[in-house]
Chain A
């Protein structure tokens, strides 16, 4: 069947099998391998992407269900050669070791900060629930998100918040 979806601002039309999952469409068809495929049972969250502005586990969505919709993946975080503050936070605070869980963690963290710019540790932990990290013990991931929150807040008014984006883009 033929589907069209906008991924990271670019429209893609492809013929796909009905059973193809969104995570495989992104990785295998579009070669956007940043999103990871982990547990395959909807539990680990490595595959989290945004579907029409909301984070979902892309291993529980058919590519066909995303027909006509917008998808955002981790590849869209850095722009114009500048890392998103969430990415910077993970680098500064050692929020990753093997990096397998990281794309999903970052996409959820980006959504959280867009909606709650100053989340508490408890709110960060709750937002990241359902996403598993086998390496870090989570402490540094939570610190990374706090780092991003504090550095975005510290940006001068009217600036792009370090995101490299124009005002209103997000």
Chain B
């Protein structure tokens, strides 16, 4: 059973986490994600879990590390400057192979930037962000409903792969309110602890468990790295997610994610109404990037005479563009439209860009 309620993106993410059986939240206030921490403060204790307002993002991510080390579903959230502080902790979480969900409601940067929506943390999220060879799985919702619905998936993926997950939204998604379906309390995932044999629970009737990322013996750290790489390869093969529109007939394919994809979708619909052959790829996973889809399009699996032209639209300056170019690998032309620091490419700008590039 489900019911429909009006929530902001930030609140929907928090509710989605509670629905997923998240039992621990720690965070530090920062705009534009403050509704998330407040929602958790109000609702996590009611759900029987632990809420802590941490003294900093550093403390918050390390609290998540601790909670997760006991086998508890744990998350934190922040916005861009706070995410920079969390990177050390995320690297430790990746190195110790702990599951964790980290939400970044992006704002304009660099530095203190401002609180307008942006997508400028794409590199930080998809490339690792902290030190060492690691990847987070990165999920990018584009509606308030999806922001809610991706949370249970995030916790499942985190547990399945013992890996940090980043949910990457932006200030607009975080703040906007939409009516969404949420699970009724009774149908929530039972908030009982999932048994994880590696978790720290006290060494009763078993050998002690250790959570660590330090490997000093010759070859031991390389072994861990090879194990991580093997895991990342499996994730790349199995977890690419996207939404697409009109790919079979598209001559111009817009690639956009999150809130930008919604604006792009409106542009696509307008252009389609005028008979223009425009399509859309909306990556839902930014890492792994849905490169297989692009490879398939270009290898003719979608039965096309001419290779389409790609237009990457971002609220940043050519970050996802690099992933599209890597996937296209020189086999098609890739154009770019992007603004950041408060500027959001508009429907009209997308339409006129498509006209200019010959769509």
- A and B associate in one complex: no
